[in-house]
């Protein structure tokens, strides 16, 4: 097993899991084995936030979620809107 750096996706390359290589390739499919290529993961931060907010909603519905202090809550919203 070799270490896989997420940073390598940022060069515009795609990864074939079958050939275990990074390719500079415009297509969605590996030119050598035809398997679907993995592209740079997008919106991973957004997804993580979405998942976190879903968990908060779940906690709210279960009645176990405690509201943070109002100041902290507003800061959090302002931070999210910036992005």
Q: Least Å distance between CB 19 and Zn ion?
A: 3
Residue 36, strand partner residues: 29
Q: Least Å distance between CB 13 and Zn ion?
A: 13
Interface with Zn ion, residue 16, by CB under 5 A: yes
**Cα 33 to Cα 76: distance, rounded to the nearest angstrom:** 46
Interface with Zn ion, residue 19, by CB under 5 A: yes
Given candidates 4, 18, 50, 59, which one binds Zn ion under the rule CB under 5 A? 18
Binding to Zn ion (CB under 5 A) within 31-60 occurs at 32-33
Interface with Zn ion, residue 30, by CB under 5 A: yes
**Cα 21 to Cα 16: distance, rounded to the nearest angstrom:** 6
Instruction: By CB under 5 A, name the binding residues for Zn ion.
Output: 16, 18-19, 30, 32-33
């Amino acid at each position: 097993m070799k270490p896989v750096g997420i940073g390598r996706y940022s060069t515009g390359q795609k990864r074939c899991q079958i050939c275990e290589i990074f390719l500079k390739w415009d297509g969605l499919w590996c030119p050598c084995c035809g398997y679907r290529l993995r592209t740079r993961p997008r919106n991973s931060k957004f997804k993580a936030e979405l998942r976190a907010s879903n968990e908060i909603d779940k906690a709210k519905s279960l009645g176990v979620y405690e509201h943070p202090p109002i100041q902290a809550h507003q800061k959090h919203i302002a931070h999210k809107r910036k992005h």
